[in-house]
A and B are shown apart, each in its own frame.
Chain A
């Protein structure tokens, strides 16, 4: 399996622009998570989906952030409009929850810089 795939790997944009981050989870996994890593706050969950349905979006910072999962193999995280404080590394992770394991697998991340 190719693992969790994220694109782009790096994104540089100007304040006010729309940014879309993309994620393809591991095939067969039914949970998908979006995390953000910053120096100040460390790694924290933004939102997660189960079977394409958003379950917990309590970590989404504000209305400028939105996430969708139109099918089992694709998710997007959108920031509109972007601000310099959104600069961070955004990770996507997926897992398959059965009775034996809850292990999450992470993608390589998207490093976002907003100038």
Chain B
């Protein structure tokens, strides 16, 4: 099945710093989503981005489908950005609509 690899696995920042999280996937996809899992365990939708670039406030994301990777940018990080960021994809092949998740990047933003 499709492989989803996220890097780095852990990231520690000072408040105000910028960061880039990466998601590599091994096959073509219909769906790519970025989620933030907050300290209470809730999965928050950040972006639906199977291709192209989107921005939402301090966050932006770019997916280059032909090269099978996606990047999540966080600018001017805040302590509330802490948590785990997941990339998840739905493969184009196979006919299933399920999301396959990466292992996540754990972000800690210190004041």
Contact = CB atoms under 8 A, between A and B. Distances in A.
A97 B97 contact: yes
Nearest to B104: A42
B42 interface: yes
A74 interface: no
A109 B86 contact: no
Interface residues of B, number: 21
B90 interface: yes
Interface stretch (A13-21, A75-83, A100-108): A100-108
A43 B101 contact: yes
Interface in B20-44: 30-31, 33, 35, 41-43
Nearest to B102: A42
Interface of A: 31, 33, 35, 42-45, 48, 50, 55-56, 59, 89, 91, 93, 95, 97, 101-106, 108-109, 111
Interface of B: 30-31, 33, 35, 41-43, 45, 48, 50, 86, 88, 90, 96-101, 103-104
